[in-house]
Amino acid sequence: MLRFFGRDKKTSESSQETGRSWTHIVGNVFRRSEVDDEFWEDLEEALIVSDVGVETSMALVEKIQEEARWRGARTPEAVYDLLRSEIAAMLSDEERSNGFDDDGPSAVMVVGVNGSGKTTTIGKLAQAAKKDGRVPLIAAADTFRAGAISQLEIWADRTETMFVSSSAGADPGSVVYDALNAAKSRGADFVVIDTAGRLHTAHNLMEELKKMRRVLDRHAEDFTPRVLLVIDGNTGQNGVTQAKQFSDAVGCDGVVLTKLDSTAKGGVILAIRGEMGLPVRYIGTGEGIDDIAPFDPQEFAETILPVN
C-alpha cells in the first residue's frame, strides 16, 4: 500500500530546512584542508551536535575511517562522499522493505508522545491510502481528552473517511475492538488508530497501549497488525528514549519522522536506526493533508549532504 503517492513530493524537496542545518554544522567540517586527527574529532562532534547520538556518531566515524583507509580516500571531499553513502546505506532497509506495505487489510496503531504529529499523520495516511485505492477507517482511541476526538474527526471529515469513536474517558481497547469490527462489516481494509501520548500523567499510557496491541493481535487474521511510531524531527536524543519506551511496550514496525519542513535536524533518526534498528517509513513535511512522503534513504542523505 501507499506505493505511489509520495512520488508527488520528494524527500529532497520537502526537507530543505533540515538540509540547511546539516550543511551548516556538518558541512563546515569539510572546509578543512586536511584529513587529520582533528578533522575526525570535529566530524564526530558535528554529528553529535546534529542529534546523531554519541554511540552512533562514534560508530559512524569509525566505519568511515576504515572505509577511507581501504579506499585511499585522503581528501575532505572524498570523505564527504563516503559519509553520504554510509548514511544512505545505514538508513536503507531492503530486507524489510515490504514489512509495512501489506497487500491485504491492515490495522495500524499510531503511537508517540504528545505533539509529535500523530493525529495529523493519521489524516495524511488516510488520504494517501484513498489515493492508493484503499478503504481507510479512522479510529479515535485517544480517549483521554474530548478535544483529541474532535480534532481527529475533522481529519476524517476532510478526507471523507469512515470514523469510529466513543466518548472521552472510554476504554481505548474497546474503541479498537469496535473499529476492527466496523471495518470488517463496512469493508474497510486500512484501519488507522489514534492513541494518547501523555507520558507524564497518572494514567499508565504504556499499559493502555499494550491492551490495545492485544486487541489488534487477536484480530491478526483479518487485519495485519502494525505499529508506527511518530517522532518529531526536532526531537534530540530524547527521541531514542521515546523509541525504546514505545518499542518495549508495543513493538514498533517503523517510524514516521515529522516536521522535516521546519528547522528539524532529523539526525535523531540515525541514532534510532543505529541503536535500535528501527527503520523510517514516512516523513512529514508540513501541516497539509498531502504533506507526507515515503522515506527515501538516498534522497535523505543527499539532502543533508548535498552532492557538490
Binding site for ligand GDP (CB under 6 A): 112, 114-120, 197, 230, 258-259, 261-262, 284-287, 291
- Is position 106 an interface residue for Mg ion (rule: CB under 5 A)? no
Nearer to ligand GDP among residue 57 and residue 285 (C-beta): 285
Residue placing its CB nearer to Mg ion in the complex, 118 or 213:
118
Pair type for strands 190-194 and 224-232: unpaired
The minimum distance between CB 260 and ligand GDP, in angstroms, equals: 7
Half-sphere exposure of 301 (CA within 13 A, CB side): 17
* 130 vs 198 by CB, closer to ligand GDP: 198
Return the residue of 21, 119, 161, 234 that touches Mg ion, per CB under 5 A. Answer: 119
The Cα–Cα gap between 225 and 104 comes to 11
Question: Judged by CB, which is closer to ligand GDP: 80, or 155?
Answer: 155
Alpha-carbon distance of 176 to 164, in angstroms, equals 9
CA atoms within 13 A on the CB side of 226: 25
Tell me, what amino acid is at 275?
E
The count of C-alpha atoms lying within 13 angstroms of the C-alpha of 94, restricted to the half-sphere facing its C-beta, is: 4
Whole-number Å distance between alpha carbons of 288 and 89:
30
Q: 53 or 233: whose CB is closer to ligand GDP?
A: 233
Q: At its nearest, how many Å lie between Mg ion and the CB of residue 148?
A: 5
Q: What is the DSSP letter of 62?
A: H
Q: Specify which residues 257 forms β-bridges with.
A: 231, 283
Please state, in angstroms and rounded to a whole number, the distance separating the CA atoms of residues 264 and 4: 25
Shortest separation between residue 108's beta carbon and ligand GDP, angstroms: 14
Q: For the CB of residue 258, give the shortest distance to Mg ion in the complex, in Å.
A: 12
Pick 17 or 44: Cβ nearer ligand GDP: 17
Residue 85 binding partner per list Mg ion, ligand GDP, none, with a CB distance cut-off of 5 to 8 Å that depends on partner kind:
none
287 binds, among ligand GDP, Mg ion, none (CB under 5 to 8 A by kind): ligand GDP
Name the minimum Å distance from CB 181 to ligand GDP: 24
Whole-angstrom distance, CA of residue 233 vs CA of residue 260: 6
> Helices 268-276 and 238-250, interaxial angle, to 10°?
40
As a dihedral over the C-alpha atoms of residue 259, residue 260, residue 262, residue 263, rounded to 10 degrees, the angle is 120
195 binds, among ligand GDP, Mg ion, none (CB under 5 to 8 A by kind): none
Binding partner of 114, given Mg ion, ligand GDP, none, CB within 5-8 angstroms per partner class: ligand GDP
Nearest-approach distance from CB 19 to ligand GDP, in angstroms = 15
Write out the residues near Mg ion by the rule CB under 5 A. Answer: 118-119
